[in-house]
Amino acid sequence: MVEQNEINQLEEQQPASLRSFLFVLFKRKKIILTFFFVVVGVVATGSFIMPEIYRAESKILVEKEVDSEKALLFRMNFPQGYEKYDFVNAEMEIMQSYPVISSIVQRFRLDTLGQTNQPRSEEDQENNFSRAIKTFQESIEVENPKNSNIIAISYESKDPRLAADVVNTFLANYIAYRSEISAESDSYKFLEEQMQIADNKLRSLEQDQANFKEKKELGSPEAQMAILLTRLTDYEKSITEVRTRRIGKEAKLAVIIEQLKEGRDISIPSTESSDSPSREKYIAKLKGELLDMELRRGQLLQKFTPQYEEVVNLTNEIEATKAKIENEIQQIVKMEQTAVRALAAEERVLQNSIDKTKNELREFAQTEYEFSQISRGIDDNRDIYSMLLKQREEARLSLAKLERGVKIKVVSPAVVPREPVRPKKRLNIALALFLGITGGLGLAFFMEYFDHTINTPDDLEKYTGIPVLGSIREINGHTSNGAGSWQ
């Protein structure tokens, strides 16, 4: 409590207006403080008690395609600024349509939120569902700011994750429903079904081809055919060489045998290299020695009789040498006959290999034919699948054009909010402080305005018009306002 003398001192020091303000301020300070603390307490308590509300927001860009070339060709005017975004209103109506909102209510079970007991009858369920749809229509905000082609969608919830999920699902359902109502999808669905049939058949044929290749141990048909042809060529080249060698040896052998039968001087033909070159050299050496001995014997017979001992010895040596030559020739004949038989056997082996390779080629040709039949079916189905794919893409483009030439792009998807939008505690407390001070002051001056009690000599002089000569202050210890009374 402030004593009266303190008030008097303040009144003497301050101007009249400020003095009156301070007088009222000190006089009504309880009311001012009470009002201030009540307002701040109520607002602060309410701010902390109220549940936190989170807002998730997303923005999409809707663009309408304008065929400028056709517009210029047919001298059409482009839409003006105030009307070129009229289609955005139609998109907003589609967003808030019953199918889009009902799918959201069903997806997030919004008709059961806040209910402790499940409705028993179908009528109750339908009523709850209808109320949930109406509530959601009122709570979801779809706005078109500043007459643009931007649409902002926002939703508030106590659960921040639920708010973000609802907005994103709302956009996805809107886009899906928009495509559904704008599409003439019979041909597209038909092409989808045919593509599925063609794909299944193609997969079946490819599996049959894989099984056939595994069963026949078939790798690359072209490579295997090339291997078989190369092998056949090598065999035929080898058998030609062997046959040539065999024929040459047979001819050589026939000449030698004929010389042996006629008893003529043996001369080995040089049509082919012999398998026994050492024997031929040895025979040639023996023939040279034989010729020397016959020359020596001829010279001796000119001087001596055939019975001459040296002549007889030379004759015996000549016969022995002839026997050696004949024996060597017989050995050559045997060796050549063995070589001929070996070449003939080799020729038969090569011929068998050629026949076997030709059989493999015939079998492989049949296998390749069967493989080509399977592959041709695969190629045909691939062509059919490609054709259906192309037609389906054309149908999809047609559907896109049927969607009224509007493209939808999500500019900013909804994210889980971290800060609540309500209550704003700091702002509320700041407003409460301001309201408490201004309201308390206003209430104090309002009460002072209607208070006609005479508290000062000036008040008495003001109301009576009689000048005051003096005043005596009566001090009352029980007086609560500290102003006392004037006598």
Q: What is the mean pLDDT of the chain?
A: 77
The model's pLDDT over 223-253, given as tens digits with 9 standing for 90+, comes to 878 888 898 899 899 999 988 888 888 887 7
On whether both 109 and 231 belong to a single domain, the answer is: no
Global pTM reads: 0.43
Distance (Å, rounded) from C-alpha 359 to C-alpha 44?
102
Hey, what are 473's tokens? 């202050």
On whether both 95 and 145 belong to a single domain, the answer is: yes
Within-domain flag for 152: yes
User: Between the CA of residue 255 and those of 250, 342, 403, what are the distances in Å?
Assistant: 9, 20, 101
For β-strands 473-474 and 485-486, DSSP reports them as antiparallel
Q: What is the CATH number of the domain that holds 106?
A: 3.30.70.1130
Domain membership of residue 366 as a residue range: 221-402
Within-domain flag for 18: no
The model's pLDDT over 395-426, given as tens digits with 9 standing for 90+, comes to 766 665 555 567 788 888 889 888 888 888 88
On whether both 255 and 370 belong to a single domain, the answer is: yes
Res 196: pLDDT: 86
On whether both 252 and 352 belong to a single domain, the answer is: yes
Q: What is the CATH number of the domain that holds 294?
A: 1.10.287
In the predicted structure, residue 373 carries a pLDDT above the cut 80: no
Mean pLDDT within 306-320: 84
Within-domain flag for 150: yes
Hey, what are 9's tokens? 């001192």
Res 392: pLDDT: 77
On whether both 108 and 176 belong to a single domain, the answer is: yes
Res 57: pLDDT: 92
Q: Which residue has the higher pLDDT, 70 or 275?
A: 275
Cβ of 471: how many Cβ atoms within 10 Å?
10
On whether both 276 and 337 belong to a single domain, the answer is: yes
In the predicted structure, residue 275 carries a pLDDT above the cut 80: no
On whether both 71 and 178 belong to a single domain, the answer is: yes
Within-domain flag for 7: no
Mean pLDDT within 19-43: 84
Within-domain flag for 193: no
**Is the bond leading into 423 cis (omega within 30 degrees of zero)?**
yes
For β-strands 150-157 and 141-143, DSSP reports them as antiparallel
Within-domain flag for 77: yes
On whether both 229 and 102 belong to a single domain, the answer is: no
Within-domain flag for 17: no
Res 7: pLDDT: 47
By the 8 A CB rule, do 62 and 173 touch? no
In the predicted structure, residue 203 carries a pLDDT above the cut 80: yes
pLDDT band at 30 (very low <50, low <70, confident <90, very high): confident
By the 8 A CB rule, do 202 and 382 touch? yes
Task: Please state whether 64 falls in left (phi above 0), alpha (psi between -120 and 50) or beta.
Answer: beta
User: Between the CA of residue 440 and those of 28, 242, 436, what are the distances in Å?
Assistant: 9, 130, 6
pLDDT band at 81 (very low <50, low <70, confident <90, very high): very low
Owner of token pair 């209430």: 443
pLDDT band at 460 (very low <50, low <70, confident <90, very high): low
Distance (Å, rounded) from C-alpha 439 to C-alpha 434?
8
Q: Which residue has the higher pLDDT, 336 or 462?
A: 336
Domain boundary, last residue among 402, 425, 440: 402
The model's pLDDT over 140-184, given as tens digits with 9 standing for 90+, comes to 999 887 777 889 999 988 888 998 999 999 999 888 888 777 654
On whether both 226 and 272 belong to a single domain, the answer is: yes
On whether both 178 and 225 belong to a single domain, the answer is: no
How many structural domains compose the chain? 3
**Strand spans (E) along 294-447:** 406-412
Within-domain flag for 447: no
On whether both 143 and 256 belong to a single domain, the answer is: no
Res 154: pLDDT: 92
